[in-house]
Amino acid sequence: MHGGSIPAVKAKAAQRVAEEKAAAKMRLFAAPVEIDPAQALLELVQWTAGEVRYWRAEVARIAEDDVESLTWGQTKTEEGVGVGEDGGYMSKTVEEAVPPVAYRMLNEASGRLAKYAAAALRAGVEERRVKLAEDQGSAVAGAIRRILERLDLLEWQAELVPTIVPEELRALSAGV
């Protein structure tokens, strides 16, 4: 009477039940993870960026095969619809302007990536990364200074330190 037996309503209800079961299982088996919120945002950004890259490649592959399939395609085939001229049932194919799953997934992942990246920027994640890098740089510089002091270098060796150490550190940061 109220539409509860309509196939689309039944399918949506089944989907909700499946999602509730999956969420209950996750709550049962997932354990809390100790993580810095800024690090969590960075991981979400990185993970979702990988997802966007994957779906972008899938969409590109689809476009290579048939660019029209990005916006138009068969959405369903209905079997046993009407009676054909020979007296048997005929099927009907429905085509409409609908993007493929990969294209929809790309758009969803892109939206999430933008949301996570904006949240990370608002949270000052980049500034925090710079601060961490500065702190690490200071720690390395302090360690090098202490090492050189303990080595008790000869005067001519000590004079080479301001040239050699920065060169080697630049090479290290350049990945050489």
Residue 96 in domain: yes
Q: Would residue 115 count as lying in a domain?
A: yes
Residues 10/18, Cβ–Cβ less than 8 Å: no
- 68-119 per-position pLDDT tens digit: 777 666 556 565 556 667 766 666 666 666 777 888 899 999 999 999 999 9
Note the pLDDT tens digit of each residue in 93-102: 666 667 778 8
Q: How many helices (H) and strands (E) does the chain have?
A: 5, 2
For 157-166, the pLDDT digits (tens) are 988 888 888 8
Q: Are 60 and 119 in a shared domain?
A: yes
Report yes or no on whether pTM surpasses 0.95: no
Q: Both 90 and 38 in a single domain?
A: yes
User: Do 41 and 87 share a domain, yes or no?
Assistant: yes
**Number of structural domains the chain divides into:** 2
| Per-position DSSP letters for 117-148, written without gaps between them | HHHHHHTTHHHHHHHHHHHHHHHHHHHHHHHH
Q: Is 113 in the same domain as 168?
A: no
Domain ranges, residue 49: 33-123
